[in-house]
Amino acid sequence: MPARIVTQAEPQGRPGLSGWSSRLLLLILAGGLWSGAVAGRLGYLAILRHRQYDEMAARQQQRAIEITPERGTIYDRNGRELAVSLPVESCFAVPPEIGDPGLAAHLLAPILDIPVKDLVKRLRTDHRFVWVQRRLAPEVVQRIQALNLRGIYFEREMERFYPKGQLAAQVLGFVDIDGHGQAGIEYSLDKEISGKPGEIFVLADGHRRYYQRREQPPVPGANVELTIDENIQYIAEKELAQAIQDTDSAAGSILVMNPSTGALLAMANWPTFNPNLPSNSSPQSRQNRAISDIYEPGSTFKTITLSAALDAGAVTSDEVFNCQMGHILLAGRLIHDWHPFGLLTVGEVLMHSSDVGAIKIALKEGDANFYHYMRAYGFGQKTGIRLPWESPGLLRSPKLWRPSTIGSLAMGQAVGVTTLQLIRAVSAIANGGLLYQPRIVSSITVDGKQFTPPDEPPTRAIRATTAATMRHMMEGVVLGGTGHKAQLDGYTTAGKTGTAQKIDPETHRYSRRNFMASFIGYAPINNPAVVTLVVLDSPHKGNHEGGWAAAPVFKRVMQQVMNYLGVPRDLPVQATTETAALRTHARPQRNVPQRVAARTIPARLTETSTVATETLPAGILPMPSLLGKTARQANEQCLRLGLRPRFEGDGIAVGQEPAAGTPVPAGTRVVVRFALRPAPVSADGRSGDAP
């Protein structure tokens, strides 16, 4: 039987060449799709979402800390520093670096005077930066550095400092913990003064370890020069504080203005505060009453009533009015004068401050004219001074007047004014009829370039001839009327008294106990150098009338200011005894009294002088000895005598030029040298090392 050949069949299911190819193709396709998806995702994240993730990484890796810039310096008109910025250290923590927050808190709490639990809570946080305490005293910084705590660092900031303390506090204002202005010039010019903040960037690695810092330096702010004069401001504040004490007043203000420019030389308010410690003061003491408080001015407003009537041609200065022995019935309202006057000229109405006379003059002028002039003087509207929270006052439209309103307005009632509005208006009378916008900012310096802020040009309130007539009549108020206690020695003086009843908040009627006593005036008559306004709120000690409570304060302020400014005298200076005698008359003669051409030196000013009993020509006085005095004592004595001091060194006075006893004219520059330890002094007042 033939042999059978059997062939072995190929295993079933084993792929051939075509099967391997298809699977490989699928694998390559899947890998390509996966790679494309990954590449697309990476491209999407790297290109389209790059900025978002870059910012997220930056937030995780770094912390930006804002650094307070150096605020610009505020100067008075003579370049004296009123507000400066000083570098101080602030303490901050990086909590992730602190190993034991509880221990760190217990060590830091007694140094910083912070409760331990509060400090622990502050340090046990996930935040990468927390302030521990800002603006520390140098000794506190040294104590913390001595602990050598991990995660506790220091950063230099700028702290605002007011070297003159409470001087011009309401004008300057103050700043908060972050260096932002909160009141006064600090607030109104905050954008210019504050500068541009800097930044610190604290960097961290993936393990939250802080390894580097980079800084963006802050840009300093602009410097500001005010129209305020430090010495005149000091005089005003000193005399205001004395007046508050003497009269037991609740509050008060004194303003001093240059009538020819509208520049404010002083703006004093009481109560006051220390801007270095604003948290220790009350809101009332931080308030700038001179621009925010409105009050009924009383008889000082008669200067507006009479000047308006004169300028409108409704009356003449010598026109006579029957004051009806102190009574007038107006629209069913019986008004009583303070004194039973009979026939008075317009000038005598102002001199004796007759309410009935002022009412009759206003009635002859008419509602429309009177309102027009009150607006022309700036009442019922803001002055535009560069200070915050100025009040526009209160002046109603004639459409809202009652039949008797014009009578109230004539004697300074039914109108609300600020002290700034009033001194601005009377300055227009003093300068010849021009109403200036009050100025308190003289210049601003940015990047070394100085510019003067633009001000509105003056407007004419009254004619120059009307202003001249008013100046003559206001002189009569001082020479023979209610303002006789305001007469300056050596200068012709004009002014007006005011005594206004306040509204009782409980009864809403005029109080019989609380008054606003005021006096406003200027000197010399023909070329006024300054206008000064004194307002005392509710004087309770002594006579509450403006002629008795405020006029003497005006005189003390003006006498020192005129001497300090070196204003030429237009009258011979009286002998001390003659001056005292004239002041005893309740109503001096209306004409200027004959004055002596020589001056007897008061003994109280020449205790150390060798010429105490000599008679010197007008305007000449013996140089007092300033040796052994502090800077403030020497400054006060020089200003009182009209001398211009310049100080060198610190401590107590050890030398002076000119020497004590030397006859000098008012306005002489006096150089006083100070030392912490007195140097040998010769008999003529020169220090031992003087040339």
Please, which residues have CB within 8 angstroms of residue 183's CB and are 6 or more apart in sequence?
170, 173, 174, 286, 288, 388
Note the pLDDT tens digit of each residue in 333-354.
999 998 999 999 999 999 999 9
Q: What percent of the chain has pLDDT over 90?
A: 58
Would you state the pLDDT for residue 50?
Answer: 65
Would you state the pLDDT for residue 209?
Answer: 54
Task: State the Cα angle at 652 between 648 and 655, rounded to 5°.
Answer: 60
Q: Which domains occur in the chain, in start order?
A: 64-226 (3.90.1310.10), 230-583 (3.40.710.10), 598-675 (3.30.10.20)
Can you tell me the distance from the alpha carbon of 519 to that of 497, in angstroms, rounded to the nearest whole number? Answer: 5
Would you state the pLDDT for residue 474?
Answer: 97
Would you state the pLDDT for residue 53?
Answer: 64
* Lowest mean pLDDT across 18-32, 364-378, 419-433: 18-32
Distances from the Cα of 319 to the Cαs of 314, 325, 348, in angstroms?
Answer: 10, 18, 10
**Phi (first) and psi of residue 67, to 5 degrees:** -105, 125
Q: Which residue has the higher pLDDT, 190 or 597?
A: 190
Mode of pairing for the β-strands spanning 644-648 and 669-675? parallel
Under the banding of pLDDT at 50, 70 and 90, the label for residue 590 is: very low
Of 546, 557, 498, 547, which Cα lies nearest the Cα of 522?
Answer: 557
Under the banding of pLDDT at 50, 70 and 90, the label for residue 574 is: low
Please, which residues have CB within 8 angstroms of residue 663's CB and are 6 or more apart in sequence?
611, 616, 620, 621, 622, 623
Would you state the pLDDT for residue 673?
Answer: 83
Would you state the pLDDT for residue 243?
Answer: 97
pLDDT mean across residues, the chain = 84
Would you state the pLDDT for residue 204?
Answer: 60
Average pLDDT rounded to a whole number, residues 71-92:
93
pLDDT higher than 80, residue 194? yes
pLDDT higher than 80, residue 603? no
Q: Which residue has the higher pLDDT, 311 or 630?
A: 311
Note the pLDDT tens digit of each residue in 26-59.
778 887 788 777 777 777 766 766 676 666 655 5
Q: Which residue has the higher pLDDT, 247 or 197?
A: 247
Can you tell me the distance from the alpha carbon of 545 to that of 511, in angstroms, rounded to the nearest whole number? Answer: 14
pLDDT higher than 50, residue 185? yes
Would you state the pLDDT for residue 18?
Answer: 64
